């Protein structure tokens, strides 16, 4: 679960300005990292690069010493987990949304739903795991969709988990549920949390502060706060 960015440069289109500008940092295996910065500073883009949604223009990203650009994309991406800023649901059923490739047992599915605090509501719906889900999951709230993404993530059992917090205010209760579950289920995994609220990341091992596609600061919260003129302070 060790992640290293080495002079990573990324832009969304050919010949367009870089949104990651020679970004270098190292996350130790199992570390809990908070990422903060103004809107448009490159937080989500950092994750887009990690998932190879957009390939780097130059530099590289290594996981456990392996250059990720050399790995089989499908296999590699299948081993990372993310709860995205815009939670994704597909037209289908609860089952097909949790387990699109039909690889988990019913017991595993219910266990994930329980840990994601969804078991009760799914049990209460008549068709249980076969409950239909609309295109984009319009029959669910943003918070519920994030909980489904959390359940999917729990099933995946990845060594690396990314949480890109929704910008839109989610209710505090759902937010707390997600945080609590993550803290227990993913205790020994590497976790990157892009935060829009300080309380979600204040107990991270370290916090990465981004600005205009660059790393401004990367340190523990007490160290960051010891600099009265620092960006994080």
* Site residues, ligand ATP (CB under 6 A): 12, 19, 37, 39-45, 167
Q: Which residue is nearest to Mg ion (CB)?
A: 44
Q: Please state the closest distance from residue 199 (CB atom) to ligand ATP, in A.
A: 17
Asked if 193 touches Mg ion (CB under 5 A), the answer is no
> Which of ligand ATP, Mg ion, none lies near 132, with the C-beta cut-off 5 to 8 A by kind?
none
Task: Identify whether the C-beta of residue 220 lies closer than 8 Å to the C-beta of residue 49.
Answer: no
> Which of Mg ion, ligand ATP, none lies near 176, with the C-beta cut-off 5 to 8 A by kind?
none
> Which of ligand ATP, Mg ion, none lies near 118, with the C-beta cut-off 5 to 8 A by kind?
none
- Nearest CA to 46 out of 166, 200, 208, 175 is that of 208
Q: Please state the closest distance from residue 202 (CB atom) to ligand ATP, in A.
A: 18
Pairing of strands 80-83, 160-164: parallel
DSSP calls for 15-73: TSPPSEEEEEEEE-TT-EEEEEE-TTSSHHHHHHHHTTSS--SEEEEEETTEEGGGS-H
Asked if 45 touches Mg ion (CB under 5 A), the answer is no
Q: Which residue in the block uniquely carries the two structure tokens 């596609």? A: 213
Is 62 or 86 the residue whose CB approaches ligand ATP more closely?
86
> Which of Mg ion, ligand ATP, none lies near 90, with the C-beta cut-off 5 to 8 A by kind?
none
Task: Identify whether the C-beta of residue 160 lies closer than 8 Å to the C-beta of residue 30.
Answer: no
Q: Please state the closest distance from residue 80 (CB atom) to ligand ATP, in A.
A: 17
Helical segments of the chain, H only: 43-50, 73-77, 94-98, 106-115, 119-124, 142-156, 172-185, 221-225
Q: What is the dihedral of CA 92, 95, 98, 100, to 10 degrees?
A: -60
Q: Please state the closest distance from residue 84 (CB atom) to ligand ATP, in A.
A: 11
Q: Torsions phi, psi of 2, nearest 5? A: -80, 135
Interatomic CA distance for residues 5 and 21, integer angstroms: 11
Which three-class secondary structure state does DSSP give residue 29?
coil
Is 44 or 181 the residue whose CB approaches Mg ion more closely?
44
> Which of Mg ion, ligand ATP, none lies near 42, with the C-beta cut-off 5 to 8 A by kind?
ligand ATP
Interatomic CA distance for residues 68 and 38, integer angstroms: 28
Q: Judged by CB under 5 A, which of 41, 44, 158, 193 binds Mg ion?
A: 44
Q: Please state the closest distance from residue 165 (CB atom) to Mg ion, in A.
A: 9
Is 113 or 210 the residue whose CB approaches ligand ATP more closely?
210
> Which of ligand ATP, Mg ion, none lies near 12, with the C-beta cut-off 5 to 8 A by kind?
ligand ATP
Binding-site ranges for Mg ion (CB under 5 A): 44
């Amino acid at each position: 679960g060790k992640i290293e960015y080495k002079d990573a440069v990324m832009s969304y289109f050919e010949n367009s300005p870089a949104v990651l500008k020679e970004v270098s940092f190292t996350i130790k295996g199992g570390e809990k990292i908070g990422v903060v910065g103004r809107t448009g500073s490159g937080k989500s883009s950092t994750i887009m690069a990690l998932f190879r949604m957009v390939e780097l223009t130059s530099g590289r990203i290594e996981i456990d010493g392996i250059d990720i650009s050399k790995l089989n994309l499908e296999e590699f991406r299948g081993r990372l987990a993310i709860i995205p800023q815009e939670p994704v649901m597909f037209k289908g059923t609860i089952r097909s949304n949790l387990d699109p490739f039909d690889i988990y047992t019913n017991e595993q599915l219910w266990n994930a739903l329980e840990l994601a605090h969804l078991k009760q509501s799914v049990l209460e719906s008549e068709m249980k795991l076969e409950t239909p889900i609309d295109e984009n999951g319009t029959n669910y709230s943003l918070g519920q969709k994030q909980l489904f993404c959390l359940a999917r993530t729990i099933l995946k059992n990845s060594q690396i988990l990314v949480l890109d917090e929704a910008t839109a205010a989610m209710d505090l209760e759902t937010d707390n549920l997600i945080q609590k579950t993550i803290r227990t289920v993913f205790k020994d995994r590497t976790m990157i949390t892009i935060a829009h609220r300080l309380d979600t990341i204040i107990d991270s091992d370290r916090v990465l502060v981004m600005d205009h596609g660059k790393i401004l600061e990367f340190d523990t919260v007490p160290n960051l706060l010891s600099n009265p003129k620092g960006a994080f302070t």
